[in-house]
Chains A and B, each alone.
Chain A
Amino acid sequence: DVKVTQSSRYLVKRTGEKVFLECVQDMDHENMFWYRQDPGLGLRLIYFSYDVKMKEKGDIPEGYSVSREKKERFSLILESASTNQTSMYLCASSLDGSYEQYFGPGTRLTVT
């Protein structure tokens, strides 16, 4: 079974802090994605990556950056956290760009 793990289930940070969210998949998938999920808004794509050291912006990249130094790991970085970035963050991976996505358990981030 594909396993996607995220570094924390719950995280509380202060405004202005630099925040790192880590995602690791164990199935040698090429593609990895970061979404944020807010009530009533569904899943919105922040960034995705189709290869190591490669990244592409999604629909809402502002205020975020990503890093993919190794195939299995995809990190989401909030350079200076703000309260409007309080949300559930979901990581996903897929074998190919349009194949089924496997989601991690999510990180609920609260910025105070």
Chain B
Amino acid sequence: QQPVQSPQAVILREGEDAVINCSSSKALYSVHWYRQKHGEAPVFLMILLKGGEQKGHEKISASFNEKKQQSSLYLTASQLSYSGTYFCGTFHTSGGSYIPTFGRGTSLIVHP
């Protein structure tokens, strides 16, 4: 079952903040976040491996609550270049393999 992302879409002005949430019904080993611009391949942003871990990448950071099986992506002081569709990818283990499952995506539009 795909993780649930919310919201489905966000429209911002430059400089505003946004939070994208990802929630899974399965016990997770890790969470990935990717951004895909229109007509391009998804690009890796960050990975969270441990419960409660927070990682940052410039003005984009994320948290992972292993207990709640949830992750959130935080975009602060958004820039035009942040526009795109954001996907969370959750990984759970099964029979020694890591099985990736991606959410349906959150469309982020940043206006000047």
Contact = CB atoms under 8 A, between A and B. Distances in A.
Interface stretch (B13-21, B39-47, B62-70): B39-47
Contacts of A59: 101
Interface in A38-97: 40-45, 48, 50, 56, 58-59, 90, 96-97
B84 interface: no
A104 to B, nearest CB: 6
A102 B44 contact: yes
Contacts of A41: 104
A106 B104 contact: no
Contacts of A33: 100
Interface in A9-53: 33, 35, 40-45, 48, 50
Contact of A42 (B44, B91, B99, B104): B104
A101 B89 contact: yes
Q: Specify the main secondary structure of chain B where it touches its partner.
A: strand
Contacts of A45: 99-102
Q: How big is chain B's contact interface, by range? A: 20 to 34
Contacts of A44: 2, 102
Contact of A106 (B41, B101, B103): B41
Interface string A97-112: 1111111111000000
Interface of A: 33, 35, 40-45, 48, 50, 56, 58-59, 90, 96-106
Interface of B: 2, 29-30, 32, 34, 40-44, 47, 49, 87, 89, 91, 97-105
Given A56-B97, A98-B29, A98-B91, 4 more contacts: A44-B102, A45-B102, A98-B30, A100-B44
21 contacts: A33-B100, A42-B87, A42-B105, A43-B102, A44-B2, A45-B100, A45-B102, A56-B97, A58-B99, A90-B42, A96-B98, A97-B98, A98-B91, A100-B32, A100-B44, A100-B47, A101-B32, A101-B44, A103-B41, A103-B43, A104-B41
